[in-house]
Amino acid sequence: MILFYILITVATFVFMEGVTWFTHKYIMHGFLWILHEDHHHPKKGQVFQKNDSFFFIFATPSILLFFFGVNPSLNFMFFIGLGILFYGLAYFLVHDVFIHQRFSWLSNIQNAYMRGLRRAHGSHHTGGKCFGMLWVPRQFIKEAKDGGLNLS
């Protein structure tokens, strides 16, 4: 049973990349642009952005799944909520901490994948591509290895 729960957690984490891509492209750049716009056009010295409200939007299903995943006893919903939580933590660390350096904890990571990820996200801010977060098109990793144009 534990292996089943681990698989549910990992599958949910992987599935969240698709949810992120879809939500970013069609919702954040669609009818909720009003919340996302300040992420693309931040004001100098701005600590919080309206875009940060998406944290609460994504945390809500995770919290509800935790609640229903232990009532009346532990079940699969808890582990779906756990997968969403893990993805949210990864998103925070990669997007807010590493890419946008809102905190200086991970600013010196220099492997090709992470540099390519930063470039892919930079291309999103300059050209509207790359709506996902952890999946990086090979061209950006190759550019990072070759020392190509820095879009971070």
| Amino acid in the structure at residue 145 | K
* Helices 53-68/33-40 angle, 10° precision: 120
Rounded to two decimals, the pTM is 0.86
Each residue of 16-43: pLDDT tens digit? 999 999 999 999 999 999 999 998 888 8
Distances from the Cα of 52 to the Cα of 38, 49, 102, 131, 137, angstroms: 10, 5, 12, 17, 26
Q: What is the pLDDT of residue 152?
A: 44
Largest CA distance in the chain: 55
| Per-domain residue ranges of the chain | 1-39+46-108, 109-152
